[in-house]
Structure 1
Amino acid sequence: MTGTLFSQINPPQRLLMGPGPSNTYPRVLRAMAADMLGQFDPEMTSYMNETMALYRDVFMTKNQWTLLINGTARAAIEAALVSLCEPGNKILIINNGRFGLLLSEISERIGAEIVTLDYPWGEVASLEEIEQAIIKHEPHIFACVHGDTSTTTAQPLDGVGEMCRKYNVYSYVDATATLGAMPVATDQWGIDIISAGLQKSMGGPPGCGLITISDRAADFIFSRAHVELGLQDGTQTQSQRSRIKSNYFDLAMIMNYWSEKRLNHHTEATSMLYAAREAACILLEEGLANCFERHRLATTAISEGARAMGLTLFGHDATRMYNVTGIYIPNHIDGEQIRAEMRNRFEIEIGSAFGPLKGKIWRIGTMGHNARPHKVFHTLMAFETVLRRAGLDITPGKAIDAAFAVYEGK
């Protein structure tokens, strides 16, 4: 038998300026090329412990249970929800973007009773509105997305965790798109579980979920790990809580694997662990505040460059994410043709949209390794050129001048 022979993989060197994934830090790629280790090798378990410590700083938390979930960012979302939510539990979800809808889709599959706080895409919920919904519906869990790339909008979270605890509600936040770009203040917000991924502003490849779990949430999850409970008189009673319905996403088992017990659950994805560890090192060496400011400046430069070209931004400046900008497509412009020209002429990827925003906006991301002045300038120059060639009346250089003014503080 003869098999088809394929050439060596040689993808184009594109600048990924969409809503994610972003280009990976070269240091992370180099780390991924390191040799494999056995999952219980002392060097390997040492790297696991170091990674937990690093991500406590990244998540701005003291949570013991801060670790990795093998799989994409969605794997961490599902692990959080399936482990925290029993069938029949009520979950209150903010529905204001594609990834709020994803929380509902996952919750439905695990048998939750879903209640939503519904807003137009690009709008956010106030603390008072969240509290009123909690009082009305008495959910077991409150869940939302911190920054939804589908809307380029960030949901304010100050006070949410404290309020949830007041009403004995567990809180979950998906910070896939914001971790590494803007503060994800786990302890300050008092959120029980926050999950994220590597592929956006952390500057790593897709394939690794990141998660931090409060002791309060961990105690509840561990209480679901045992079907039978022993009483002091030696008799047995059936737990009133249902067993976690997933094996792979059972956080109780995963936490035991990451604990000093090292109870086998799966074989840790070694190269992804190396990637996550290196990405965290890069971020913390730069400093959280410096990294957040770098992302904020990059997005502001894109925004002001777009405005200087006469384009209109989607959303509100007060709730705009630090790492992705929504730009309305002018009526007489073919948005997909512009994206194709950016890719084919300049090897730059920018994003389209979906849902109610499909065909209405472009999304330009400034994430991780790409949130840098020269990549912003390169993107704006290409974008301006392509738009002028498509017939838009733009004074050449206005976008770059506006971006320079942002970086020069003018």
Structure 2
Amino acid sequence: MPSSFRQIDPPQRLLMGPGPVNAHPRVLRAMSADLLGQFDPEFTAYMNEVMGLYRPIFGTENKWTFLIDGTARSAIEASLISLASPGDRVLVVNFGRFGLLLTEILARIGAEVRTVDAEWGKTVPMDEIAAAIADFEPKVVATVHGDTSTTMAQPLEGLGELCRQAGAYSYVDATATVGGMEIAADRWGVDIVTGGLQKCLGGPSGSAPITISDRAAEHIFARRHTELGIKRDDLEQGSGQRIGSNYFDLAMVMDYWSEKRLNHHTEATSMLYAARECACVSLEEGLAERFERHRLAGKAMTAGLRAMGLTVFGDDAHRMTNVTGVYIPETVEGERVRQRMRDDFEIEIGTSFGPLQGKIWRIGAMGYNAAKNKVLITLGALEAVLRTEGHSVPSGAAVDAALEAYTS
């Protein structure tokens, strides 16, 4: 039989890179549940449950908390193109590759974009953001919370108030941190926060949770009726023309998730099951306990890497808890080490992008993989590979340091 017709049988690899990570077994089991029709009352009840489950995960009471069908980037794009119009001024807080992604998406829709930047490995001080808002007077301010390209987490306390005082809307991409670090949409006062399942939430890529403030929701619905000059009834009757994206039009997706249940697309049933189970697992564990588990895993990973004599990348004060960057020793070839980690130990660690390409590895411990045994196994494997590649490493020091970090 041709190999293309055989059952999929991927290697049982431990994914310890910046994401995706191994999905929780409960999530995989949930995805195998029977399909339902998109307007089946049992299914719409699951939709309502998802909305309620994700509110505490986002730290919000927002009515408009739901899912975008697509990878995390689908929610990023839906948010930006629904908040900003061609010619609108948008300020992007840029401290890594994913700040550059926000800039690219906004440029594609014809927004006037300005960035306030930090060197990779650092974050942008809030006073610099405030100064940029005062100078540029943007309609939207967009930022990433945790940028896995640099392993840094941008402080966001006070951002929402700065934006509101300036009459701007705020957007936060929390793909890499939701479920692993605190997300406090209401306390931060931000208007839209989006995430993904494939990192700290311990699910597969393909569904993107989102929460939208009432203030932003009013803007999104008003824009549909005024700026674009078309009503939903016209769309359903096939009349009129729509500017921009249909699939990523948040106003239309929100109508689908509302009591109206106005059809927009066929909901991705199995992915909704996955997202629901990710939230259930997170809330059953307890968010505070979950954040502490990620913090300890990151602390142990960092301690182990340093005990090997390796240099950790970036600013310790603003490091993400779930991804650690570490400089590749000059004595080894980075990609060969990654290959041997896969071939000899079935463990994946990450490479990097842009100015850090070929300079650091990114090692994650998040979601189902933010576990003591997985951190220890990864450190032990990396030590063995480095020694085999001719790099001198203190025997057993990494695992010992990680164990001490877990108990200290």
Q: Aligned equivalents of 1:142 and 1:303: distance in 2?
A: 32
- Alignment match, 2:236: none
Report the RMSD for the aligned CA atoms in angstroms: 1.4
| CA deviation profile, 1:49-95 (whole Å, cap 9, x unmatched) | 00000000110100000000000000000000010001110000012
Q: Aligned equivalents of 1:333 and 1:313: distance in 2?
A: 16
| CA deviation profile, 1:277-328 (whole Å, cap 9, x unmatched) | 0000000000000000000100110100000000000001110001000000
| CA deviation profile, 1:123-170 (whole Å, cap 9, x unmatched) | 111111101000000000000100000000000000000111011110
- Alignment match, 2:235: none
- Alignment match, 2:173: 174
- Alignment match, 1:87: 86
Residues 32 and 272 in structure 1, CA contact (< 8 A), matched pair in contact too: yes
- Alignment match, 2:102: 103
Closer/same/farther in 2, CA of residues 396 and 207 from structure 1, 3 Å limit: same
Deviation at 1:108, TM superposition (A): 0.7
Residues 193 and 213 in structure 1, CA contact (< 8 A), matched pair in contact too: yes
Letter in 2 for 1:395: P
Partner-residue secondary structure (3-state), 2:195: strand
Letter in 2 for 1:15: L
Q: Aligned equivalents of 1:94 and 1:215: distance in 2?
A: 23
Q: Aligned equivalents of 1:383 and 1:323: distance in 2?
A: 18
- Residues 243-282 of structure 1: pairs in structure 2 closer than 5 A: 245-282=244-281
Residues 83 and 244 in structure 1, CA contact (< 8 A), matched pair in contact too: no
Q: Aligned equivalents of 2:2 and 2:310: distance in 1?
A: 52
The normalised TM-score by structure 1 is 0.95
Partner-residue secondary structure (3-state), 1:225: helix
Residues 225 and 244 in structure 1, CA contact (< 8 A), matched pair in contact too: no
Letter in 1 for 2:117: D
Residues 224 and 244 in structure 1, CA contact (< 8 A), matched pair in contact too: no
Residues 306 and 399 in structure 1, CA contact (< 8 A), matched pair in contact too: yes
Letter in 2 for 1:315: G
- Alignment match, 1:390: 389
- Alignment match, 1:122: 121
Residues 193 and 210 in structure 2, CA contact (< 8 A), matched pair in contact too: yes
Q: Aligned equivalents of 1:228 and 1:365: distance in 2?
A: 47
Residues 230 and 242 in structure 2, CA contact (< 8 A), matched pair in contact too: no
Residues 325 and 365 in structure 1, CA contact (< 8 A), matched pair in contact too: yes
- Alignment match, 2:203: 204
Q: Aligned equivalents of 1:288 and 1:4: distance in 2?
A: 44
Closer/same/farther in 2, CA of residues 71 and 357 from structure 1, 3 Å limit: same
Closer/same/farther in 2, CA of residues 4 and 329 from structure 1, 3 Å limit: closer
| CA deviation profile, 1:203-234 (whole Å, cap 9, x unmatched) | 0000111110000000000002224489xxxx
Deviation at 1:245, TM superposition (A): 1.4
- Alignment match, 1:54: 53
Q: Aligned equivalents of 2:355 and 2:115: distance in 1?
A: 18
Residues 178 and 195 in structure 2, CA contact (< 8 A), matched pair in contact too: yes
Residues 31 and 274 in structure 1, CA contact (< 8 A), matched pair in contact too: yes
Deviation at 1:111, TM superposition (A): 1.1
Closer/same/farther in 2, CA of residues 394 and 267 from structure 1, 3 Å limit: same
- Alignment match, 1:134: 133
Deviation at 1:6, TM superposition (A): 2.0
Q: Aligned equivalents of 1:338 and 1:256: distance in 2?
A: 49
- Residues 297-312 of structure 1: pairs in structure 2 closer than 5 A: 297-312=296-311
Unaligned runs of 5+ in 1: 231-241
Residues 17 and 370 in structure 1, CA contact (< 8 A), matched pair in contact too: yes
Partner-residue secondary structure (3-state), 2:171: strand
Residues 201 and 367 in structure 2, CA contact (< 8 A), matched pair in contact too: yes
- Residues 136-151 of structure 1: pairs in structure 2 closer than 5 A: 136-151=135-150
Unaligned runs of 5+ in 2: 232-240
Q: Aligned equivalents of 1:349 and 1:109: distance in 2?
A: 34
Q: Aligned equivalents of 1:18 and 1:229: distance in 2?
A: 45
Would you say 1:352 and 2:351 are equivalent positions? yes
Q: Aligned equivalents of 1:122 and 1:38: distance in 2?
A: 47
Would you say 1:220 and 2:208 are equivalent positions? no
Letter in 1 for 2:94: N
Q: Aligned equivalents of 1:179 and 1:137: distance in 2?
A: 30
- Alignment match, 1:38: 37
- Alignment match, 2:363: 364
Residues 180 and 202 in structure 1, CA contact (< 8 A), matched pair in contact too: yes
Letter in 2 for 1:99: F
Partner-residue secondary structure (3-state), 2:143: strand
| CA deviation profile, 1:10-40 (whole Å, cap 9, x unmatched) | 0000000000000000000000000010000
Deviation at 1:118, TM superposition (A): 2.0
Q: Aligned equivalents of 1:96 and 1:228: distance in 2?
A: 37
- Alignment match, 1:336: 335
Closer/same/farther in 2, CA of residues 328 and 271 from structure 1, 3 Å limit: same
Q: Aligned equivalents of 1:130 and 1:358: distance in 2?
A: 27
- Alignment match, 1:16: 15
Closer/same/farther in 2, CA of residues 163 and 103 from structure 1, 3 Å limit: same
Structure 1 range deviating more: 219-228 or 359-368: 219-228
Partner-residue secondary structure (3-state), 1:172: strand
Q: Aligned equivalents of 2:121 and 2:93: distance in 1?
A: 12
Deviation at 1:243, TM superposition (A): 6.2
- Alignment match, 1:233: none
